[in-house]
Structure formats: structure tokens, C-alpha cells
Chain A
Amino acid sequence: MRESRLWALHLIAAAALLALGGLHMALMHYPALLGALGRPSEPVLAFAAVAARDRAALWRGLYVLLLGFALYHGLYGTRGILREVWPSPRAARAIDVGVVLVGLLVFVYGVTVIALAGMPW
């Protein structure tokens, strides 16, 4: 695949993360600010609230998207940095394979967690 395609996807993921990650950070990490702005600040991290989000299909979909985009964006950036440090073709192949494996591993783990958390028990 041409590098420009991978790179364009890196930028698309960045734009998506601005929206999804921004929403995530606002809801999870700025509760007092949202409270001050008039939104009733229920405890977002209480188990009941967490479980309620886990059961909603919309939330689970957003979680999967957020995880996927974040992993792609982050690991593409990491790959670029690692390949600048070790630029030889052999190292480049090892880095590419390693990054894809790490990405798949974390993605599968994350999606499993989201799926299990959404089960009705």
C-alpha cells in the first residue's frame, strides 16, 4: 500500500479522534466543568453509570470506534518514530509487523471487553 494512503488514514483517524476523544474526555474528565455549565453532574464513574453505558448499543459502538481510531493513529505515529530510529529495511519490516500485531492484540482485547461488558448478566 502506498504510504500516502496509510498517512491519509492517519489524518482521518486524527480528525475522528478530535470528535470522539474530545467527547470522551469532556464526559469523563471534565464533570465539574460540565456541572458548572449546567449539565447535572451524575457520577460518571459509578458502577451503575458504567454498566448503563455498557448496555447501550450506541455507547458500545462509540467505544469500538474510539479504540480503533486511537490504536491506528497512535501506532502509525509510533511506527514512524521507530522507523526513524532504526531505518534499515530489515528493522522496518520487523517494526511494521510488530506494530500491526500489537494493534490487533489490543484491539481484540478491547473489543472483547466491550462485548463482555455489554452482556445482560
Chain B
Amino acid sequence: MPPTDPRVAPQTPASAQPVAWAQRPRRLSGRLGVRGWLYAGRYPAERYLYILHRISGLGLVLYLPLHVWVTARRLEGPEVWEQTLATLRHPALVVGEFLVLAAFVFHALNGIRLLAGHLGYTLGRPGHPVYPYPIALHRQRPLAAVLMALAAVFVAVGLWEVIVR
């Protein structure tokens, strides 16, 4: 079930609408809004990968300017650079760095699947809709499984790197 009821959006004031619409009976908007992105309910795996892809992508794009700024510290000489590296060894920042790594690994490997899919590859060809109906994305499932397994391996190795360091 959706988390909370989406259909409680306030009515548009009648004065803001054309006359013909103002005389209509009241309605409820059933639009889920941005919550609709995050609610994947009983939909299949690709629907969850879509959510993760968005979140990881947003995280990476926010991190990018920060990363450029932090690495620019090297312009101020060896001492400031070493000091910056020391600051980055704070546990919270190490965890943050690991999250960026995980986001990159997931976004990149899921991106391979999306790159192929968006251009119509790995989805097969349209055919006869004979029950049980074929779903093109299911033909991509083996690829998705392999890529997600790879992502898990890379994230695990990344965790090991963080611990070793």
C-alpha cells in the first residue's frame, strides 16, 4: 500500500478556475508526486534500481564540486595538502568516501544496463502478445543480475580497501 494517502491535496480554489470547471463537483487529485518515485511497492527489481540510480546520481553530482574544491588544496603546497589528507581520515569522512565509492560503482554498473536498454538493445524485439505476455525488461534480467553481482563485489572490495588503509 502507498505509505500515506496521496489524495488529500487541497482543492484548487474555485475562483482560480474557469467558470465551467468551477461548477463541476469537487474532485481529488490522485497524483502521487515525488513520493511516487520513492514508492516501488510490489513492482519488480528495475523499479527499485530506478530509485537507487536517482539517489546515487544526485549524491555523486553533489559530491563532484566538493571533490574539485578539496583536491584544489594541492595548489597551496605540500603542508596544506598533507593536512587536508589528515582531515579526510576523520571516521565520518571515511564513511562518506565509502558511500561515494558505492554510489559510483552502482551508478556505473547499473548505467551499463540502462545505456543498452535506453537504445533498445538487450530488450529483444516486439512479437506476438500471447499469454503469458512477454516483458522486454525480463529479457535483460540476466545482465542486470550479473551487473549487480559485480557491483556487490566491487563495493565489498572497496570496503576492504577502506579497512586496510
Contact = CB atoms under 8 A, between A and B. Distances in A.
A and B touch in the complex (CB under 8 A): yes
Interface of A: 11, 14-15, 17-18, 21-22, 25, 29-33, 45, 47, 50-51, 54, 67, 70-71, 74-75, 77-78, 81, 85, 106, 109-110, 113, 116-117
Among A47, A67, A71, A117, the one with the most B-chain Cβ atoms within 10 Å of its Cβ is A47
Given A29-B158, A106-B64, A109-B68, A50 B74 contact: yes
Contacts of B75: 113, 116-117
Interface stretch (B40-48, B110-118, B125-133, B135-143): B110-118
Given A47-B81, A81-B58, A25 B104 contact: yes
B92 interface: no
A16 to B, nearest CB: 11
A81 B53 CA distance: 12
A64 to B, nearest CB: 12
A14 B115 CA distance: 8
B6 to A, nearest CB: 15
Given A18-B108, A47-B78, A30 B157 contact: yes
Contact of B58 (A54, A71, A78): A78
A74 B74 CA distance: 25
B161 interface: yes
Contacts of A18: 108, 111-112
Chain B interface, >50% SS class: helix
Contacts of B78: 47
A77 B64 CA distance: 14
Contact of B161 (A22, A29, A70, A116): A29
Contacts of B101: 25, 29
Contacts of B38: none
7 contacts: A18-B111, A25-B105, A32-B160, A47-B74, A67-B68, A71-B64, A81-B58
A79 to B, nearest CB: 10
B74 A21 contact: no
Given A85-B34, A109-B68, 19 more contacts: A11-B119, A14-B111, A17-B108, A18-B112, A25-B105, A29-B161, A30-B157, A32-B164, A33-B157, A47-B78, A50-B81, A54-B74, A70-B64, A71-B64, A77-B61, A78-B61, A106-B64, A113-B71, A113-B72
